[in-house]
């Protein structure tokens, strides 16, 4: 009992514990979720963002397992990148496991990975931990939180949840287990803060069904519904309503087809024989018997919906009479792409429905009244708002205070900060490496802030490069070339460029022997460029000798 219990959120800056959380007792540690993030607008060229997993890689001999909460990429999508450097067994429910396997196969890691299927009533004993899954309702079936029993007490990780009492597939959040845990005593709760800004109670998925029914009632032509490929429950709703209205459904796009097939095989997606159809089969049907279910709600340029909106889809051409439904909200940062897609859908003459106009989507996350219910049910001694940006964590803290929790028992901590418990209480421990690791092309972690700064600077005003060949003996200019991109439109810049050339020649002729010619040129050329254009492209000088 002299060992310490540590809780360490990893992942995004200000995003505590959405993608990865370490729970450690003594040396032994388990990891809840191993998800990836998507680059923000100031990370140009970055393909993916991983939680900084240095701490796992450095302590791999004490790493007992990854416990995955659900099948969304931001909760398991980093496994393919992290496992090679920090291998450990993976624990997941059946559908989550299926989705993990799809990704690990792409990374050629399926054979080497050890995966255990977890049932809702299991208790997993591993090292000093006893771990119980807790069924939660979310926008994908088979989601679980975890109660982690340790010698110092029980830590409850809520995962992403809402208290939807009429979900699509009958899996409500296990209120009874949460109540039992609360009565038995919870040391610390980590609870999802995503919707801490939102008053009230998140509407049930059944609202979406009602809206879809109204859409199907009125639509005279084809119905195209876009949603996340991982939103299996939403796809199920589409299938249910389509069957009710005697339409056939095509799942279009690679990820939609793959996930659909997997979920179907595992029994998480149900349809009557003959409901699902290929694009070819749909082509032969009257418009009012067709539903197309595809991706593209975030305006992703390669998605089926965006290609339809642009008129670039090889098989599906939109036409007036089509009804298009975007059944998702824009993820912050994607608004411009989503708006452009909506504009283009309208330009094709389609009738378009999206969340601003009708409840065609509901959030998968608990709103403020539900957050209160979770806090009440589990009645934790300590509370760590989790899975949100800083303002959401801070608001979740204010909410817990309103419920009567003492301020000093609530910890708003950021990526890499360590919360340390022992028999006497809790304190902040030494930090571990937090924040991001970037994936770009084939490289993991080989670009960082410095490279991104260069990219941002280049995007702002391009570059001007002065290539100079100077005679080693006489010091005279033997050849000179200016290269520029992203600075000014070439035909308009001829005058400035020839002025720059003259300027460089004059400077070389007048240069002091032994002076730092290239540094001086860089500065003076930069000044002249700015004087003429009020822009500051990156200026580089290469002086080669011949």
**Residue entry with tokens 């040391």:** 187
Stretch of 21-29, 73-81, 111-119, 328-336 lying at the interface with its own copies (CB under 8 A): 328-336
318 in contact with its own copies (CB under 8 A): no
Residue 109 near residue 84 (C-beta atoms within 8 A) = yes
Nearer to its own copies, 271 or 457 (CB): 457
With CB under 8 A as the contact rule, the residue among 117, 166, 302, 542 that binds its own copies is 542
Distance from the first to the final alpha carbon of the chain? 74
* Near its own copies in 195-234, by CB under 8 A: 197-198
42 is known as an active-site residue: no
Paired strand residues for 117: 92
CB of 535 to its own copies, least distance (A): 4
Distances (CA, A) of 407 to 397, 399, 420: 8, 11, 17
* Near its own copies in 8-37, by CB under 8 A: 14
* Near its own copies in 77-136, by CB under 8 A: none
- Helix H or strand E segment including 261: helix 254-265
Surface-to-core class of residue 485, CB atoms within 10 Å of its CB (0-12 exposed, 13-18 middle, 19+ buried): exposed
289 in contact with its own copies (CB under 8 A): no
475 in contact with its own copies (CB under 8 A): no
> Whole-angstrom Cα distance, residue 49 to residue 444?
9
497 in contact with its own copies (CB under 8 A): no
Nearer to its own copies, 15 or 142 (CB): 15
> Whole-angstrom Cα distance, residue 366 to residue 373?
10
Nearer to its own copies, 145 or 330 (CB): 330
Measured at the alpha carbon of residue 122, what is the angle toward residues 80 and 133, in degrees to the nearest 5?
A: 60
The residues, any chain, with a CB within 8 Å of residue 247's CB and separated by 6 or more, are 216, 223, 288, 289, 290, 291
Stretch of 57-65, 463-471, 508-516, 520-528 lying at the interface with its own copies (CB under 8 A): 463-471
Catalytic residue among 138, 149, 313, 365: 365
49 in contact with its own copies (CB under 8 A): no
* Near its own copies in 385-414, by CB under 8 A: 389-391, 394-395
Catalytic residue among 33, 192, 322, 440: 192
SS3 of residue 182 by DSSP: helix
With CB under 8 A as the contact rule, the residue among 419, 488, 504, 539 that binds its own copies is 488
419 in contact with its own copies (CB under 8 A): no
With CB under 8 A as the contact rule, the residue among 108, 474, 489, 513 that binds its own copies is 489
Size of site (CB under 8 A) for its own copies: 72
Nearer to its own copies, 120 or 532 (CB): 532
365 is known as an active-site residue: yes
**Residue entry with tokens 């002025």:** 499
SS3 of residue 472 by DSSP: coil
Buried b (16+ CB within 10 A) or exposed e, 77-112: bbbbbbbeebbbebbbbebbbbbbbbbbeeeebeee
535 in contact with its own copies (CB under 8 A): yes
Nearest residue to 27 (alpha-carbon basis) of 52, 59, 54: 59
Q: What is the dihedral of CA 506, 512, 518, 521, to 10 degrees?
A: -40
In degrees and rounded to multiples of 5, residue 375 shows phi and psi of -65, -40
CB of 345 to its own copies, least distance (A): 8
In degrees and rounded to multiples of 5, residue 327 shows phi and psi of -100, 65
> Whole-angstrom Cα distance, residue 39 to residue 335?
14
> Whole-angstrom Cα distance, residue 535 to residue 526?
9
Nearer to its own copies, 377 or 470 (CB): 470
CB of 455 to its own copies, least distance (A): 4
360 in contact with its own copies (CB under 8 A): no
Nearer to its own copies, 126 or 465 (CB): 465
Can you read off the two tokens belonging to residue 263?
């979920």
Nearer to its own copies, 14 or 127 (CB): 14
With CB under 8 A as the contact rule, the residue among 442, 473, 512, 514 that binds its own copies is 442
508 in contact with its own copies (CB under 8 A): no
> Whole-angstrom Cα distance, residue 282 to residue 206?
27
440 in contact with its own copies (CB under 8 A): yes
> Whole-angstrom Cα distance, residue 532 to residue 528?
6
CB of 42 to its own copies, least distance (A): 8
Stretch of 54-62, 270-278, 317-325, 456-464 lying at the interface with its own copies (CB under 8 A): 456-464
With CB under 8 A as the contact rule, the residue among 175, 207, 511, 540 that binds its own copies is 540
Stretch of 73-81, 310-318, 416-424, 434-442 lying at the interface with its own copies (CB under 8 A): 434-442
With CB under 8 A as the contact rule, the residue among 109, 291, 400, 461 that binds its own copies is 461
Residues classed as catalytic: 192, 365
């Amino acid at each position: 009992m002299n060992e310490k219990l540590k809780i360490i959120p990893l992942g995004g800056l200000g995003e505590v514990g959405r993608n990865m959380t370490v729970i450690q007792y003594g040396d032994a540690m388990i990891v809840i979720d191993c998800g990836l993030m998507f680059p923000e607008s100031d990370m140009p060229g970055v393909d993916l963002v991983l939680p900084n997993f240095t701490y796992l890689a450095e302590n791999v001999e004490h790493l007992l397992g990854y416990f995955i909460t659900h099948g969304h990429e931001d909760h398991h999508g980093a496994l393919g990148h992290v496992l090679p450097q920090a291998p450990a067994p993976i624990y997941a429910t059946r559908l989550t496991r299926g989705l993990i396997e799809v990704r690990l196969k792409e990374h050629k890691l399926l054979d080497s990975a050890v995966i255990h299927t977890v049932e809702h009533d299991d208790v997993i004993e591993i090292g000093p931990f006893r771990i119980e899954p807790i069924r939660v309702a979310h926008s994908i079936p088979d989601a679980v939180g975890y109660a982690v029993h340790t010698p110092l007490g029980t830590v409850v990780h809520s995962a992403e949840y809402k208290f939807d009492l009429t979900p699509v597939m009958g899996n409500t959040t296990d209120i009874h287990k949460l109540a039992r845990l609360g009565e038995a005593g919870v040391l610390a709760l980590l609870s999802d803060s995503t919707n801490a800004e939102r008053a009230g109670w998140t509407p049930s998925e059944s609202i979406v069904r009602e809206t879809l029914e109204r859409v199907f009632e009125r639509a005279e032509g084809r119905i195209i519904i876009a949603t996340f490929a991982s939103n299996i429950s939403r796809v199920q709703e589409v299938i249910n309503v389509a069957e009710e209205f005697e339409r056939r459904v095509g799942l279009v796009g690679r990820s939609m087809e793959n996930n659909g097939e997997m979920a179907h095989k595992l029994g998480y997606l149900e349809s009557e024989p003959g409901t699902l159809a290929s694009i070819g089969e749909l082509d032969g049907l009257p418009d009012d018997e067709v539903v197309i279910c595809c991706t593209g709600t975030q305006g992703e340029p390669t998605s089926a919906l965006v290609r339809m909106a642009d008129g670039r889809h090889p098989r599906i051409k939109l036409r007036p009479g089509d009804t298009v439904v975007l059944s998702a909200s824009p993820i912050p940062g994607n608004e411009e792409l989503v708006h452009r897609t909506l504009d283009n859908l309208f330009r094709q003459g389609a009738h378009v429905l999206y969340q601003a106009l009708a409840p065609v989507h509901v959030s998968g996350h608990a709103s403020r009244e539900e957050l209160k219910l979770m806090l009440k049910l589990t009645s934790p001694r300590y509370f760590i708002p989790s899975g949100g940006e800083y303002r959401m964590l801070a608001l979740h803290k204010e909410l817990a205070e309103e419920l009567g929790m003492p301020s000093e028992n609530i910890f708003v901590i950021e990526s890499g900060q360590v919360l340390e418990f022992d028999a006497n209480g809790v304190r902040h421990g030494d930090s571990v490496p937090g924040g991001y690791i970037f994936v770009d092309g084939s490289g993991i972690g080989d670009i960082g802030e410095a490279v991104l700064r260069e990219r941002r600077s280049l995007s702002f005003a391009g570059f001007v490069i002065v290539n100079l060949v100077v005679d080693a003996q006489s010091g005279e200019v033997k050849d000179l070339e200016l290269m520029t991109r992203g600075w000014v439109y070439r035909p308009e810049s001829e005058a400035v460029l020839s002025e720059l050339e003259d300027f460089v020649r004059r400077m070389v002729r007048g240069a002091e022997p032994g002076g730092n010619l290239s540094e001086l040129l860089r500065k003076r050329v930069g000044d002249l460029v700015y004087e003429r254009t009020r822009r500051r492209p990156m200026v580089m000088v290469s002086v080669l000798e011949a």
